[in-house]
Amino acid sequence: MGRQRKRKGDPVHGWLAVDKPVDISSTRVVGILKRLFNAQKAGHGGTLDPLADGILPIAFGEATKTAQWAMDCDKEYVFTIEWGSSTASQDKEGEIIATSEIRPTREQIEAVLPDFIGDIQQVPPKFSAIKIAGERAYDLAREGETFEIPSREVTVYEAELVNIADEDHATFRVVSGKGFYIRALARDLASTLGAEGHVSQLRRTRVGALDASNSVSLAALEAMAEDRDALFAHILPLETVLDDVPQIEIDAGDAAALKQGQDILLLPHIVEQWRSDAEDFGSDRLALAKAENNAVALGEIRAGRFQPKKVFQL
């Protein structure tokens, strides 16, 4: 019987809110940080384009099991539309496909912006990672293929015009739900205004509970390479991205059972407290079980029992 191959690196667990610079891919940032922390496992919780900067959530170890929550939570962006030209990719990298002399005024923009708030239909950009018949849309777009992407419902919680620096540039702030594309908003806003425009600057300022208050720049992290304590001070608990999931406290015996994948019976007062919290969060049956302040499992509460769905080996 062959020996099991030992995974390289250290068992690092938790989230890191990195302030990503422009001109570097999200995948490259993951690689840099995996080496920097000598981590066995790392991934990101939602891609940020190379041309964009801002909050990039990085999951280490067991936190990768909560990556979907980072991808699905609400996000805040600050971005600038440059009027006068539309590009194939709806950002400054793409080739210009249309031009116009029309420059929307503040009054014109503010008159139509409310139409883009709420649950709206949006067609993702052709230069996106959407799959069309098993192929990435951006690969088809680069090959010059003709194809259509179906519209999808997305949610915009807030959208405001922040500044008009000059007649060619307008800066906006948007808070959106999952699956929303800023480049598609720029395309549709320009179209509604009878103008041409593309995203010339894009910054993600928040991903759920991750924002400027708990983020750190990639350059600062690289400067700490020789100071492990300083580096690890920026690691956040894996439940940081689960801020909308109600928590229950369990004892060590129940924690051991959950780690074996077993259901546990909950005391009535714990169920009542969870039910009250779940109403506040708008949660369904989901709960996070913790023991001595450590996350043990994500699961569902049914008929007074906690059924583990994702177990954390911390």
**CA geometry: angle 204, 209, 214, nearest 5 deg:** 80
Active-site annotation holds for 49: yes
Residues 305 and 268: their CA atoms lie apart, in Å, by 10
Query: How many other β-carbons are positioned within 10 Å of the β-carbon of residue 219?
Result: 9
Instruction: Output the six-digit token pair for 251.
Output: 């004892």
Task: Report residue 234: phi and psi, to 5°.
Answer: -95, -5
Name the residue among 294, 218, 211, 210 with its Cα closest to residue 34: 218
The residue ranges of DSSP E strands in the chain, in sequence order, are 14-20, 42-44, 53-60, 75-83, 85-87, 96-99, 118-122, 131-132, 135-136, 152-166, 169-176, 197-207, 215-217, 247-249, 264-265, 286-291, 294-302, 305-311
User: Catalytic: which of 19, 49, 53, 91?
Assistant: 49
Sole residue written with tokens 């995974």: 7
Helix (H, G, I), strand (E, B) or coil at 113: helix
Q: Which residues are catalytic?
A: 49
